[in-house]
Amino acid sequence: MNATIDRLRYRSQLRQPASERHEDSHPLTWRLREDNESIDLAEYQRKNGYVGTQRALTEHSASEVIDIVKEANVRGRGGAGFPAGVKWSLTLQGEDIPRGYLVCNADEMEPGTFKDRMLLEQQPHLLIEGMIIGAYANNSRFGYIFLRDEYRAAAVSITRALNEAREAGWLGKNIAGSGFDFDIALHTGAGRYICGEETALLNSLEGHRANPRDKPPFPGQSGAWGKPTVVNNVETLCNVPGVLQHGADWYQQLSGGRSDDGGTKLYGVSGQVERTGLWELPIGTTGEELMALAGGMQSGHELKAWLPGGGSTGLLLPEHLELPLDFDSIGKAGSRLGTGLLTVISRQQSIVALLRNLEQFFARESCGWCTPCREGLPWTVKVLQALERGEGEPEDIELLQQLGKGLGPGQTFCAHAPGASMPLTSALKYFRDEFEAGVARPHTAVEEA
Amino acid sequence: MSTEQTVNTIASDRFELERADREAMQQECEHFEQPQAACIEALKIVQRRYGWVPDDAIPAVAEALGLPPANVEGVATFYSLIFRQPVGRHVILLCDSSSCFLNDYDTLRAAFEEKLGIGYGQTTEDGRFTLLPVCCLGACDRGPALMIDDDTFGPVRPEDIDELLETYS
Ligand SMILES: Cc1cc2nc3c(=O)[nH]c(=O)nc-3n(C[C@H](O)[C@H](O)[C@H](O)COP(=O)(O)O)c2cc1C
Ligand code: SF4
Ligand code: FES
């Protein structure tokens, strides 16, 4: 092993040291080890692990668990912020309805996002707990962790944790003496961003091409193999054990009045800041506070714009950093919180070039099902490339505007195209001059005159 | 650039799954309501053994899972990490998404292409490396990031490439 390999090897890491993380304020990370190693069952249980599960399964009925999660208002951390308790209450269950599935979306591929990786690698038992509680609430027969193929360390860590949980009786028959049976299998993917879209994910899980499905029916009515299916993000599920352990009120107060939402959020920053990384903070922490933790911009760089939560969220300006980073506030500003991991863009960066890179990503990752997405995205890339070279046509700005609209909500089968539209339309709104500068100057007499 | 004689090639009419692989595929079915669901894993089992999924493996996988070959083919062509052409002994996946792009991805890509003498989708003449782009690797705090086989690295600078590749013979 050479030293370069050791130095460059990627290790998921939280920026906060153990001394700054506490059981009552950092439910997602207080157990994490300083050496970033995966926490095994013994250590997890020593640190009050599986208390929430024990409580849920032995002290509450399924509908009570749903009510508690609803009351806590745990909002989906996969990007859309849909309340998990509401999703669960809409999932079919009953005497004459077959037991369905609980699927953890661990496909994390949103550009700029590196939060689920850390939870999966370092604290798999927290996720397993969240899944057991979710399955109990939804009467799910079986669970799947849909993990992207590239997360190899996470696969090792999850596999070990599943075996430990099974041996200890947290998975299998009659969990914790409650009479509830449930088990989980790890499913690894084979690439393609679209697999993260929940209905495409179900097709992929069933072994088909990952084209999204028509909605309705929603997965809660007819999901995997036509059975009621809950799909939740890794971080969402990791929020659940604490809620069951400490209660909905405790969860609500975690945000300390910063937001109408409760709980904490894994926030992160990448791009030209001094200290990139990941922090667990009260939801509603402002962009300014987060940027301060990241040490501000690198010297020689000045903030030009930022993406609040991945490539499919709209660009915001420096002045928007004063907003609380929660779903409603960022939504009102015309963007989306998305995954809550900021991508910070320096003044030196051409916005047209960045957009070209983003739209190339969306074009390549389109599943090809609907025309605006399949045809519109490559076209968008072509126009952006021309503008980047300074060879754009005067009509190109209007054309991009139209393309952005065609990719927008309601025009396509799934939210992939609207995700591609968001950064584009916001860039045209805030940085129109940069696009205009890419239009070729006509060879007219005006200049010579 | 891809040189078939240096990588595994499989005689077309004699493709037979290894017994262990076949069993692993059938065992995978147990996790699901229907055998179609084991399809992706089955293709990955083939790929783990041969490095890629040759055309002739498709009917063999279909037969092992009791599926129409067209179902397997449709899946095999959809996913980016199922390789339908021979690849080198080591696959380098360069993240080309936004955070890495902001961290000088273009320079790193150019350096790899020059060093290896190949572009995306190609394999070095000695059959050692294949170079491919990949979606955000979830390592954006340390971009530009890349994977070589099972390992993830970042931030990787052009001057690191020689030593980084040394380990992968
Ligand atoms: C193109 C596309 C990709 C997505 N990728 C992911 C992903 O990788 N992980 C994730 O949790 N959600 C992803 N989502 C959102 C899911 O469709 C779904 O909303 C989410 O998994 C629901 O979980 P939550 O309610 O717990 O957030 C994606 C959505 C789209 C449209
Ligand atoms: S919007 Fe794009 S990714 Fe979504 S279904 Fe249509 S073509 Fe596929
Ligand atoms: S953008 Fe490259 S690892 Fe996320």
ipTM of the complex: 0.95
What's the pTM?
0.96
The shortest CB-CB distance from B75 to any of A109, A185, A209 is to A209
Cβ–Cβ of B96/A357 closer than 8 Å?
A: yes
Angle among Cα B101, B102, B108 to the nearest 5 degrees reads: 50
Tens digits of residue pLDDT in B28-70: 999 999 999 999 999 999 999 999 999 999 999 999 999 999 9
Tell me, in angstroms, the distance from the centre of ligand 3 to residue A350's CA.
19
pLDDT at A168: 98
Q: Which of A198, A373, A411, A421 gets mutated to test ligand 2 (max ligand atoms within 8 A of its CB)?
A: A373
Tens digits of residue pLDDT in A100-131: 999 999 999 999 999 999 999 999 999 999 99
- CA dist., res. A288 & res. A296, Å (int): 9
Cβ–Cβ of A270/B96 closer than 8 Å?
A: no
- CA dist., res. A6 & res. A10, Å (int): 9
* Strand-pair category, A303-307 with A229-233: unpaired
Mean pLDDT of A69-75: 97
The shortest CB-CB distance from A114 to any of B31, B139, B156 is to B139
Mean pLDDT of B123-130: 98
Pocket of ligand 1 (CB under 6 A): A 76-80, 82, 84, 105, 107-110, 193-194, 196-198, 231-233, 236, 414-416, 419
Contacts of B152 in chain A (CB under 8 A): 9-10, 150, 152-153
pLDDT at A3: 86
pLDDT at B14: 67
Q: Look at residue B128 and tell me whether its pLDDT is greater than 80.
A: yes
Angle among Cα B94, B99, B100 to the nearest 5 degrees reads: 30
Q: Would you say B139 and A114 are in contact if contact means Cβ atoms under 8 Å apart? A: yes
Counting beta carbons within 10 angstroms of the beta carbon of residue A40, is it exposed (0 to 12), middle (13 to 18) or buried (19 or more)? middle
Phi and psi dihedrals of A443, rounded to 5?
-85, 75
Contacts of A119 in chain B (CB under 8 A): none
Cβ–Cβ of A8/B139 closer than 8 Å?
A: no
A24 Cβ contact list (under 8 Å, min separation 6): A246, A250
Cβ–Cβ of B78/A13 closer than 8 Å?
A: no
- CA dist., res. A162 & res. A144, Å (int): 11
Mean pLDDT of A191-206: 98
* Strand-pair category, B129-134 with B146-148: unpaired
- DSSP secondary structure string, A27-89? TTTTT--TT-PPP-HHHHHHTTTTHHHHHHHHH--HHHHHHHHHHHT-B-TTTT--BHHHHHH
Mean pLDDT of A314-323: 98
Which residue has the least CA distance to atom 25 on ligand 1?
A: A76
Tens digits of residue pLDDT in A252-279: 999 999 999 999 999 999 999 999 999 9
Q: Which of A147, A198, A229, A237 gets mutated to test ligand 1 (max ligand atoms within 8 A of its CB)?
A: A198
Runs of H (alpha helix) within B38-104: 39-50, 57-65, 69-76, 98-102
Q: Would you say A108 and A116 are in contact if contact means Cβ atoms under 8 Å apart? A: yes
> How does the average pLDDT of chain B come out, rounded?
92
Cβ–Cβ of A2/B145 closer than 8 Å?
A: no
B138 touches A: beta carbon within 8 Å: yes
